[in-house]
Structure 1
């Protein structure tokens, strides 16, 4: 599970892109199919002096690219000029990037920080959590919008939320005290504070069972996704609180105990602050690895289990904590390794950091085209240009023939692999290729590298993060 993107940014991105998928919105734009204004026979529909990507607009004709994400239809305050694109056939112009989204792609303004976006309510978003940043629209104040700014979605809406109506006036899927817009209203503040104070304390760990029946009906979550989804609106929930006793890692797994009692669950760092949402998770199955979260002393996590599909849910919640103690022989939390000794010059240093040279010297040699492994059993101290914050295993393969060599890592169960290769294991600059699909986690990853007969290649099967480390099958298709 990837929990990195801010809720408001993901929501703005997701809903705007999903809306673009409406054929009625896109089909009239003859200009949008002509390379963003740089091609086509007659340029019909393109404004030669139109506005660049990211600038304000009211209608499609305002934009150089022929497409305006209007405030009324998309919720981005003041509108946002863009264009349809294809990374190979219809590239974006200078200063913009092409964001793939299913059957279509859009040009969005590039940025390094929010100030580069130059407009109130616009945010520089790390789309993939690895440095691919673009300007997304939306709002952060009612004054920016013709109607109101919905705090949950960060979108302009025609009318704001009324917090005691049992209605969803701003059409974001949430209502009343579930809304961030209502978080400062007296009735919601008092009810939410009382529910948070009564949250079940799971800091000692253990197994907790029960049902959402007779739970509170005050919380819900707008979950990141394309499009985003609402969890828990109008449903009863149970709330659990965890306070870390030390630096380390907490593992959490919630499973349904009755087939008819399916549920969703989500985690916040603060019980009464929707902005601290870390992510939403479906009920776990028996094969799913627990969710692991790093902790500092006093770190808090609040777990919400919500009924689903109009039904209350029966659940089992398992919580366990492991303290991070360098030298105890167990890799925990932020430790890159832990071999149980204080020796500094072997694979694992006395500070539980990976020594790359000894690690590479101990690399396993591959003699078969297929092998299996588990990244959770490796070190956690090597990363590459495309990521790899979790556990990794390293293999050395010496090709018998020159030519293109295809390497594929297929994850199993919960694992999410990052795959890369180097010509020199200990030298990051010798990277030959690196892949991690940010939009399709948990799927096989493949790279193709140019091999020279007799020259070894070092292959790293890494993980997106510690929680996604796990089993995999590595397959090598030799050059012919």
Structure 2
């Protein structure tokens, strides 16, 4: 499915607004059946079309320009100045905006290949065109993106025929075809089993060249593993717990792509893409149930193979064994229900707050992995945390800083009432850097305590830190 209209064809097809006027002179017999001399009623937004003059709004989104099978009527709009007619929503497209048919579900959309989607993130559902079969298009349907292209992919010529960044068996267009299907099945069957965990060193040299992935980032999508050898690994969870994964290059200056699917031969099951981790990077952590299966693909980079080490570890989640794992908020290895940790391994908030560590503001060392995992801030904090109570000796502003040690990724949040999340007065988490010192400045009143949570992004990034408080003067 094409999720960005401008990406489906020219960057700016410059659609023209509808024109008005008296029109040309009618021929003889203009007063005949259906007469009156008026123009026939145009088609509404979302109706199939082949040319602009068929549409009430004067614009036909054609396959040639937008990649939408069949073409659909639309009109230009402005979200504030020129709204769409009832039954349509205005979708901004950079230098212009388009009216698209409103919908509640895909069945409300009338055209070939259309899907009901929220394109703006504002809950406004509209019919977005595309394709899901070659026969819908004049040329071919690009299965990786879901829009029509002039030329389909040839699956054995080592070229990117449909110009989508992938080629040959890496394409969804080719994956199900005989020549690719046999090789892909063999590669998936022969995937290296890493279910028992350990370090798996190797190189992509001599690997298969059958897989690729379209990876999404904040800057847009990019193809990973195009025309490059890869190695395939399989992990099957032996029980409920957490699997940790980290793919690292042997040479630190080398970067490569690796990605994870829940189905080896199904690109639609992509869970995410990553670049090679550094030596001190926290591993990726995935909660799993018994039998959950993941496939990991490590790809070469550029036109070169890479040497790597793939580290895999698994921890079973068992409440009462004294080790906090997965969705456990705590685990104190006892069955008592009135202490800090319940017999279901959930944090007893009142007890946790009563046990908050007192701090006078001097430099304090701690380790989030040794704490609970039951508190979060408005900006994050799904990992382990330690809870501190600070009673100011003067009224004013205090600055609180938590510096990570090693691979810890700190989230720092502060409340005036430990047990009440609505009393949060600050929360800090750098979204880009993991080994970043988080710092907040908050107003305090002499003698009135505040609660400080030195938290972490997730349980894989919990670790040691140093807490420093600069008191008000």
**TM (normalized to structure 1)?**
0.71
> The residue matched to 1:228 in structure 2 has which SS?
strand
Q: Given the alignment, which residue of 306, 320, 325 partners 1:313?
A: 306
Aligned position for 1:65: none
> Does 2:141 match 1:141?
no
> Retained in 1: the 8 A contact 2:131–2:137?
no
> The residue matched to 1:319 in structure 2 has which SS?
strand
- Aligned residue pairs total 425
> The residue matched to 2:115 in structure 1 has which SS?
coil
Q: Given the alignment, which residue of 380, 383, 391 partners 2:376?
A: 383
> The residue matched to 2:304 in structure 1 has which SS?
coil
Aligned position for 2:248: 255
Aligned position for 2:361: 368
1:14-43, Cα deviation, whole Å (9 max, x unpaired): x979x99x9x999xxxxxxxxxxxxxxxxx
Structure label with greater radius of gyration = 2
Aligned-partner Cα distance in 2 for 1:367–1:401: 12
Aligned-partner Cα distance in 1 for 2:76–2:399: 37
Aligned-partner Cα distance in 2 for 1:12–1:370: 50
Q: Given the alignment, which residue of 177, 181, 187 partners 1:189?
A: 181
Aligned-partner Cα distance in 1 for 2:472–2:147: 52
Equivalent residues in 2 for 1:230-269, closer than 5 Å: 230-258=223-251, 262-269=255-262
> Retained in 2: the 8 A contact 1:117–1:135?
no
RMSD: 4.9
Larger proportion of helix: 1
> Retained in 1: the 8 A contact 2:389–2:452?
yes
Aligned-partner Cα distance in 2 for 1:412–1:82: 54
Aligned position for 1:217: 209
Aligned-partner Cα distance in 1 for 2:263–2:184: 12
Aligned-partner Cα distance in 2 for 1:170–1:318: 36
Aligned-partner Cα distance in 2 for 1:256–1:278: 21
Aligned-partner Cα distance in 1 for 2:13–2:399: 41
> The residue matched to 1:315 in structure 2 has which SS?
strand
1:441-466, Cα deviation, whole Å (9 max, x unpaired): 53555555443332222122333333
1:325-357, Cα deviation, whole Å (9 max, x unpaired): 111111112211111222211111122111111
| Deviation, structure 1 residue 256 | 2.0
Equivalent residues in 2 for 1:8-23, closer than 5 Å: 12=3
Aligned-partner Cα distance in 1 for 2:124–2:388: 36
> Does 2:299 match 1:299?
no
Aligned position for 2:34: none
Q: Which runs of 5+ in 2 are unaligned?
A: 15-44, 56-60, 80-88
Equivalent residues in 2 for 1:46-445, closer than 5 Å: 115=105, 120-121=114-115, 123-124=117-118, 139=130, 141=132, 150-154=142-146, 157-225=149-217, 226-258=219-251, 262-368=255-361, 371-411=364-404, 414-436=407-429, 440=432, 442=434, 443=436, 445=438
Aligned-partner Cα distance in 1 for 2:335–2:119: 42
Aligned-partner Cα distance in 2 for 1:189–1:79: 39
| Deviation, structure 1 residue 107 | 11
Aligned-partner Cα distance in 2 for 1:345–1:170: 64
Q: Which runs of 5+ in 1 are unaligned?
A: 1-7, 27-51, 63-68, 86-95
